[in-house]
Amino acid sequence: MTNHMIGKVLQGRYQIVQILDAGVFGQTYIAVDTEQPEQHKCVIKQLKVASSQPEYLKTQRLHFLSETETLKHLGKHEQIPKLIACFEEKQRFYLVQEFIEGHALTAELPIHQRLGYPWSESDVIELLHDVLGILEFVHSQGVIHCDIKPDNLIRRACDGKLVLIDFGAIQAIDVGTDAILPIDKFPVTSLGYIPPEQFIGQTQPNSDIYALGMIAIQALTGLSPLQLKIDPRSNEMIWRSEQISVSDRFAAILSQMIRHNYQARFQSTTEVLQALKQISTGNGQTQAVQLQGNVLLNSAKAEDNKHCKFPKSSPLAVGMKVGLVANSLAMGFGLYALINNSPVRSETDTLYKATKAYQAGDLEEAIALAKKIPSTSNVYPEAQATIAEWQNQWQTAAEKYLTAEKALHEGRWVDALNAASQVPDNLYWQTKTDKIVEQAKVKIEAQTHKLLTKAYQKASVKDFNTALAYLHQVPSESSANTLVQQKLAEYNQKKQVRAVFLLQQAYRQAAVSKFEAAIEFLQQIPKNTSVYATAQVKLIEYTHKQHLQAEAQKLAKSKMPSAAKIKEVINRSRTNINLQSFAPESDLQEVNTQLQTRL
C-alpha cells in the first residue's frame, strides 16, 4: 500500500492521516474520526486479502467476524486497545481500534550490551508483573497473542502503564495443527522472540511466556535475542555472565521462561507470578558498576564518581565494568593500594584513567597516561605490562575488525561473525564490530528465509532431494537452526519413502510391459536412498527390454520376417537379459516390504 491512501476517507468517516506499518497480516494506518468533535485519532488495520474469489471471501468474512468478537472481549482489559468498529469496504476488511499515545518499549531497552542503561532486577520484575497481568487475561479468554515483542508493548503516556497491541497473529488456545508455518511468514522484528514450537505450528500459551522472558533478558543484558548464543548440547540460550548482576532465584525464573522445550517451561502466567512473589524485591539490585574481587577499584570508582555526572548506568560505566574485570591490572596493583594509600593511590588512579581512555578508543592517550607512572613506583611493572597488552590487543582488534568488515562487504556473513567473535574485549572495538555482527545476522536471517521458502516449495511438490539441498545451505548461526534440523530429518525420511514409492510404480508399469513409463519412474529415484542401487539395476534391465520390445514390434510389422532374424532377436534377448529375473509379482512384494519398513 502506497502513500495514495493519505487523506482517503473510509466508511465515510475515518480519514487516513499516516501510514504506520505494512506487516504480515495487513496494513496499519493512523486515522481521525471526522464525526467526533475533536477528531480523535484511531488505528485502522486493513487485513490482507489474497483473493477476490467469492468462496474465499465468504470464508474470510466468517473468520473476520469471529476474530472481531474476540478483539471486543480483549478490549475490555484496560491495557489492551479497545475495538471501536469493524467493517468491510470494496471487498476489504478493516478494524478500527483505540490509538494509544506513548512510545514502544523498544525505546527503553538497552540498545547495546555496553552502550545502554541495563535495567535493575527490580525494574525487570516490575515489567514482568505488568505484562504477565495482561497475558493472564488474554489466555483466560482462550487466546494466544503469538507476537510478544518490544514493538508491541506501548508505554502509555498518561499513566506509564504498558499496553499490549497488535493482536493480528492471535490463535485460539485449543486449535491443534500439524501445519508447518514458514519462517518467512514472521516479521523480521519478531525473530528471536518467537519460540521454537511456533515455527512448526504448535503454538502453546507459554509461547507468549517465552517471548516475554526474552524481553526481560534483553532489558538485563542489553543483548537482543539474536545476539545470544545457544548451547549446542541443550539448545538452551546462554545469557548469564559475571557482568550481569542478577540473583540466582531470578535467573532461574528467567531461564525457565525461555526453555527450548515448551514442556519444561512455566505452563501458565500464574506459575510465573507465583515464582516472582518468592523473590524479595529488596535483593538483587543491579549495581551500576561491579568490579568483583577488587577493593581498590571500587574505592577508586567511588572517588571518581564524586566528580562525574554520569547517569545511574552510563555507557562508559557499563564499558568499564567489562574492561576492568577482564584486565589483569585489577588483581595486579590492588594489593599495593591497600598497603600504601599514597602516592600509590595517585598512580593507580592514573592507570585507572588510562584504562578508561583505552576502553573509549584513545590508545595514544591511554599509553601516555600509563607512561607517566614513574619507574620507582610499585605500580610501574603492572603499567608496563598493561601497555604491552593494550598494544597487542589493539593490533589484533584492528586486524579482526578489518577481516570482519571485508567479509561483510563480500557477502560472507558467517566469516564476518567468526572474525568479529575474535575481537579482544575492548569497548571501542567491540562497539564497532557489533554493528557488523548485527548486519551479518540480519543478512543470515534473510538468507535463511529465502532458503527455507525454497525448501518448503520443493517439498510441497515432493522434490525432497532439492529441498534438502536448500536446507543444507542454511548457516548453523541462523536462529532457525533447530527448525532446519527438524526439517532435515523429516525430509530425509520422506525422500526414502518416496524413493520406494517410485520403485513400486516402476515395477507396476513394467508388469504390463510399459517399460518407457517404468524407466521414467526409476530416473526420478535420487542417490543416497535405500533403493537407488536396485533402481539402477532395474534401469538397465528395463532399457534392454524396451529395446527388445521395439525391435519385436518393428519385426512384426514387416511382411515376411525371416527365421534367421527371429532367431537373432531371441538370442540377443537371452544374452542381454536373464528372462527369469523378470518377476513382477516378486518385485512388488519386495517394494511393499520396504514400504512397511519405512512407514
CA–CA separation, 538 and 542 (whole Å): 6
Sign of torsion over alpha carbons 419, 424, 425, 428: negative
Transcribe 238-286 into DSSP letters: E---TTS---HHHHHHHHHHT-SSGGGS-SSHHHHHHHHHTS-TTS-PP
Query: What are φ and ψ of residue 303, in 5° steps?
Result: -65, -45
Amino acid at 256: Q
Cell of 104: 514502544
Q: Give me the catalytic one of 33, 123, 147, 151.
A: 147
Q: For the chain, how many helices (H) and strands (E)?
A: 21, 13
147 counts as catalytic = yes
Of 316, 389, 394, which is closest to residue 356 (Cα–Cα)? Answer: 316
Q: Which residue has the cell 539448545?
A: 235
CA–CA separation, 114 and 361 (whole Å): 14
Cell of 385: 605490562
Q: Is the peptide bond before 343 cis (omega within 30 degrees of 0)?
A: yes
CA 282 to chain centre: 35
Q: Which helix (H) or strand (E) holds 593?
A: helix 584-598
Q: Please measure the distance between the N-terminal and C-terminal CA atoms of the chain and give it in whole angstroms.
A: 47
Residues 6+ apart with CB under 8 A from 117: 110, 311, 312, 313, 314, 318
Which positions are annotated as active-site residues? Answer: 147
